[in-house]
Amino acid sequence: MEEKKLKQKTYKFPAGFLWGGATAANQMEGGFHEGNKGLNIADVLPGGKERLKILAEPGFNFEIDPDKYYPNHEGIDFYHRYKEDIALFAEIGFKAFRLSIAWTRIFPNGDELEPNEEGLAFYDRVFDELHKHGIEPVVTISHYEMPLNLVKEYGGWRDRKVVTFFERYVAAIFNRYKNKVKYWMTFNEINSGLAFPIMSLGFSIEKEEDKFKPTFQAFHHQFVASAMAVKLGHEIIPDSKIGCMIIFAPTYSFDSNPENVMHALQEERLFNNFCGDVQVRGEYPAFINRYFKEHNIELDIEEGDLALFKEHTVDYIGFSYYMSRTEKKEKTPEEIGEGNMIGGVKNPFLQASDWGWEIDPEGLRIALNKLYDRYQIPLFVVENGLGAYDKVEEDGSIHDDYRIDYLREHIKAMGEAVEDGVGLMGYTAWGCIDLVSASSGEYSKRYGFIYVDKHDDGSGTMDRSRKKSFFWYKDVISSNGERV
């Protein structure tokens, strides 16, 4: 009876809720040499298992091997097909579309003095097309796309000079798009640098034991760059809303053993809260001091950095939610690697996707409540979705009910959180159109409402088609979440 009642329940989302989809330039644009674009990190990451290995192990050389296939070079050819794709987003009824600007389209090497006009003009066309359809762009300034030259010549975010280059980049895009873009985010999944420094911090750890100081120094530089971007954004675009973007994976204790509870708390603080605390509260959290001490980390902090953090905090928190994490202090050898991508152990109450990501809609409600309790500023779920293999039927249809089920349960969890009192401003489903997976470089790990005929071996027509979820999501949006 109770269950039946819950099933029939309708949810109320705030008026003006930003329903839509999310993408990143490197995973969809293609045209990797066009319009004077320079190479970035994603351009040197091959596809498949090899990518996962590169991201997890020390010592990557950032070189292109002519014998390998690099899926991000082609993406899904959004560079040429953006009009068709945006028309499809409009057909679903998107209110918002999250995309990133490729830094290397604007500053091909990252350290030039003047921006590249062809790159600037491309995003003008994209933003104009979105506005033509009444879709609000939500822009990530840096999404795993650091210019390769900055990686090779400066060692990525370890070098303070990169802050100056980033400042030049953000000033160029804020000035250019000030009348076209209101919603911004600084660094995609900034805390992912703790797990995958290559994509987010722009360097490969050489030896495991050397990782602490360089990693946190690179974080410090990103925090300075992010606060600087908030400052500039508010000056150049007074009505802008500038957010941070973190992965939030609520961390559970495996059981009620207080040692495990404490361990889960520590993991949660470091992974989920550390970056948010600096960007939202404007200061390093107290708990990090002990961590720094225990790992001999002494940061080089310049005069004015801490004041900058305090004065230029973000307007909202964008976060990605795919999974929760379950922690235990002592893991047996069998348990290590059994958890999700970002660690932990297997949660016996949860099922996992074909890539081993545990599916936990209730965890989204928990994440929203935890974040709102801690910060009390608007939240924006800017990524959520199910990576799955899709089957195209003979008549061309795609019955992705598994995706609909996944999204439905997560949207309901958001509805519950809204009732809990959480201030939630929007939801952009990840990979609303199939694109290249970030962690595995596969096309076959699909998230979209729109299918793209492109495959892991590079074959495919790139034709687009509507999946069953396309029509379902259209109905969700047109009813503002009531018909989920």
**Residue 448 binds ligand BGP, judged by CB under 6 A:** no
DSSP 8-state assignment for residue 353: -
From the CB of 386, what's the least distance to ligand BGP, in Å? 10
How far apart (Å, rounded) are the C-alpha atoms in residues 101 and 40?
A: 12
**252 is a site residue for ligand BGP (CB under 6 A):** no
**Contact by Cβ (8 Å): 36, 118:** yes
Catalytic residue among 74, 136, 268, 383: 383
Supply the minimum distance, in Å, between the C-beta of residue 387 and ligand BGP.
4
Give the contacts of 264 (CB within 8 A, at least 6 positions apart). 251, 252, 253, 254, 326, 327, 328
Q: How far is the CB of 173 from ligand BGP (least distance, A)?
A: 19
3-class DSSP state for residue 414?
helix
Per CB under 6 A, 445 contacts ligand BGP: yes
Taking CB under 6 A as the criterion, the residue among 437, 451, 454, 472 binding ligand BGP is 437
CA distance 270 to 191: 9
Binding span for ligand BGP by CB under 6 A among 59-67, 249-257, 297-305, 438-446: 438-446
Q: Could you say whether residue 320 binds ligand BGP (CB under 6 A)?
A: yes
Q: What is the contact mask toward ligand BGP in residues 21 to 40, using x (rule: CB under 6 A)?
A: ---x--x-------------
CB-based contacts of 407: which residues, under 8 Å, 6+ apart?
384, 385, 386, 429, 469, 473
Tokens of 339: 């958890």
Min separation Cβ 24 and ligand BGP, Å: 5
Backbone phi and psi for residue 279, each to the nearest 5 degrees, phi listed first: -80, -25
CA distances to 25, 253, 269 from 264, in Å: 34, 5, 9
Longest dimension (CA), the chain: 66
Answer for which of 145, 277, 327, 383 binds ligand BGP (CB under 6 A) is 383
Q: For this structure, is 383 an active site residue? A: yes
Q: To the nearest whole angstrom, how small is the minimum distance from the Cβ of residue 189 to ligand BGP?
A: 5
Q: Which is nearer to ligand BGP, 142 or 273 (CB)?
A: 142
**Shortest separation between residue 247's beta carbon and ligand BGP, angstroms:** 6
Task: Work out whether 189 is an interface residue with ligand BGP (CB under 6 A).
Answer: yes
DSSP-derived 3-state class of residue 254: coil
- Given 219, 430, 443, 449, the residue binding ligand BGP (CB under 6 A): 430
Under rule CB under 6 A, how many of the chain's residues touch ligand BGP?
Answer: 13
Task: Give the number of C-alpha atoms closer than 13 A to the C-alpha of residue 462, restricted to the C-beta side.
Answer: 17
Residue 95 touches ligand BGP, criterion: CB under 6 A:
no
Cα 239 to Cα 223: distance, rounded to the nearest angstrom: 22
Angle between helical axes of 401-420 and 361-375 (0-180°, round to 10): 30
Q: Does 75 bind ligand BGP (CB under 6 A)?
A: no
Residues engaged in binding ligand BGP (CB under 6 A)? 24, 27, 188-189, 320, 383, 387, 430, 437-440, 445
Catalytic residues: 383
